[in-house]
Structures are given as structure tokens and as C-alpha cells.
Structure 1
Amino acid sequence: MKPHYFFAIVIPDDMKKAIFHEMKQHQLPFKKFTHPEDYHITLAFIGDSEERLLEEVCAQLEESLKETHSFPLRLTSFYTFGLPASPRIFWIGTDEPRELYQLQSITVNVCTKAGFKLDERPYRPHLTTARKWKGDKPYKPVVAPKWNNITINEVALYETNRLEDPKYTKKWSYLLNETRED
């Protein structure tokens, strides 16, 4: 099976620990939990690819991000995808800052110009924490804590390996410019 690739925002380690701690506290009956090292916010899923094309798209993205600065982001609430009583995906939303959408747009444009066919659904930034409800009772919404802002300062290309845990390996990354003090 060929590995798949995606570009994503790298979540700082201290926030990964906080999310993992919060998930453990709730003890939700999901079949699979995302390994804390795999927490991320996807910008563009590109699927399988040749090494040469990956190198080209990373170089193009690096060039396109030269003027992009780090920015604050806040994780907000817990949400689900799938049936309300037995969700398929449990995830954390964000405050959706404008800079996040700009970063995603730049990433999508570079990937599209390189020839990748991307998902055309509207972008819904999220961080997946669990999959496949297996509870005996219907899911009841859970209240998320008030998390601190995190600084988004790194974009990475990840390779997926479904047979390992953590499942994602960072293959390339780019550090955004530090936020300007205006």
C-alpha cells in the first residue's frame, strides 16, 4: 500500500499534552483515539505521490510562504461528524482566524498548480481526536475547556503509515516568520 501525504499545521507539544489529558478525563467510548503525536490541523490532503513531485510542491510552498507570519489560534469546542447518537469522528474546532484560511488557500493553490486533485468541499479546520463511537448509550455532547491561544508557526508535509502508531511522519516542514509587532 502506497503512503498518502498531506500538508498540515503543526500543533505545539504543550497543546498536544493538554488535549491528550482532556481526552483521558472524559473517557469517551470511541474505538480509536488519535495518538497525541498525530494531532494536527489539515490544510490539504494530497494522497499518494512521487518523491520528485513532493519535493517540487514543498519548494513551491516554501517560496509562497515567505511573507506569511505566525498567528494565534484558539481551540474552541468539541464537535462530531456522523450520526449525532453514534458519531464517526470526534474533533476540536478552532476560532477560525483569517490567517488560517489564508494559509490554507496558499497551500491549496500551490498543490493545485502542481497537479494534485484536492477535496472540493468547503474547508472546515479541525483537529481529530477520536473515531468510531462504540458506546452502549447515545453520545451526549461534551463541553471543551477554555484552552489558551497557541501560536501557529509551522507547516509540515506528513506521510501516513496506517500500520504504525503514531501514524504520521513529518517529511518536510517550514517555519513561518515571527509575528510582527505593529
Structure 2
Amino acid sequence: MRTFIALELPDNFAAETAALARALHDHVDGRFMKPETYHLTLAFLGDIDERELGLAIEATDAACEGGWPIELSCTGLGTFGRKNDATLWLGIQINDPLAQLVFDLQGQLEARDVSYDAKMFKPHITLARRARIPRVALPDLPFPRAEYATRVTVFKSELSPEGAVYKPLHTVELG
């Protein structure tokens, strides 16, 4: 099963992120994500079996033990890919608690021999895929206000023609 571990967004932050996406939709063509899919990926595991899922859940529990809520503060918009076929995202400021959580999670996954995508951590929330970024400046946008995330979840990702559907498998509360 295709899985990842992520911070869930607080309700207000998710609603304000959706408002930002609606404002962008008037200026950027692309396939905008549904608000219920918004999350901040901490570790992408890819396809794993039931045994590895159990180990990933153990690693998540261990990494979150004694952890505190994580502040989510926006840094602006960014893209991966080309201007005519980009992934558009909302950047999140890396702070010490977030960096420590990712470091601990990676260490716990490695200790259990669970593979994950080891690309450099770039905290972001995907807003749109296959986006075509305009060459003109965007208007002032309603960026979300800082909030604290308190839930780390192991998700199963099921791909469909309408986009991915994320199903929570295990959640840990921080703080």
C-alpha cells in the first residue's frame, strides 16, 4: 500500500489555505487539490506491506513521544517543475520543533529498516498540480495565519482518476 506520514493541518489553517487556493484559482490554471487532502508530509514511504506498516506506526509513535505542537507559519508560494507544468505549493517555515520531529522520525524509520524518500525536507502544502504559472505578478493574497499542528498521521494514499484519496491509518497527538 502507498503510504506517507504527515502533520495534519489545524481546521482554521486548512480553511485559510483553501481561501488562498480559491484566490489563486482566478490567476493560475491547474488541477487544484481538494482541501481535505491538505497536509504537510514528514516522510513519504511509498509502497509498503503490512509488516512495514506496523514498523512505520511504531516509528511514528516513538518519534512523537514527548513532542509538542508544531507551529505552521507560511513563507510564501513555490513550485516544483516547469512553469507550464508545475506543482504549486505553500511553503511552511522550518523551525526547531519541526526539524527535530523530522530528524527523529527519520531516525526511528531507519532504526526499523523502513525505507522512505530521503530527499531534503522542504516543508510545504501542495495546492495544485499541472499548474501553469502566469508571467505577471500575482495580486495580494490571503495567506493563512500561523497555527499549531497537533496531529501526526500515517496515511494510506489511494490513487484514482479524480486524484488521490488519503485514509488515516494511525494518528498520534502531540503535546
Equivalent residues of 1:20, 1:36 under 8 A apart: yes
Amino acid at match of 2:144: W
- CA change 1:165–1:87 in 2 (3 A) is closer
What is the CA–CA distance in structure 2 between the aligned matches of 1:141 and 1:106, rounded to whole Å?
39
- Summarize deviations over 1:2-55 as a string: whole Å, max 9, x none: x31000110012221111122112224433111101101111001111223212
How far residue 139 of structure 1 moved from its aligned partner, in angstroms, is 4.2
- CA change 1:166–1:15 in 2 (3 A) is farther
What is the CA–CA distance in structure 2 between the aligned matches of 1:55 and 1:127, rounded to whole Å?
26
What is the CA–CA distance in structure 2 between the aligned matches of 1:35 and 1:140, rounded to whole Å?
26
Amino acid at match of 1:70: P
- Identity among equivalent pairs (%): 23
Aligned residues: 172
- Summarize deviations over 1:140-171 as a string: whole Å, max 9, x none: 45354343211121100011111165611111
Equivalent residues of 2:23, 2:141 under 8 A apart: no
* Aligned position for 2:131: 133
What is the CA–CA distance in structure 1 between the aligned matches of 2:37 and 2:86, rounded to whole Å?
18
Residues 1:156 and 2:119 aligned together = no
Equivalent residues of 1:35, 1:166 under 8 A apart: no
Equivalent residues of 2:17, 2:143 under 8 A apart: no
Structure 2 spans left out of the alignment, 5+ residues: none
Equivalent residues of 2:52, 2:114 under 8 A apart: no
Residues 1:145 and 2:142 aligned together = yes
Normalising by structure 2, report the TM-score: 0.87
Structure 1 spans left out of the alignment, 5+ residues: 178-182
What is the CA–CA distance in structure 1 between the aligned matches of 2:100 and 2:113, rounded to whole Å?
20
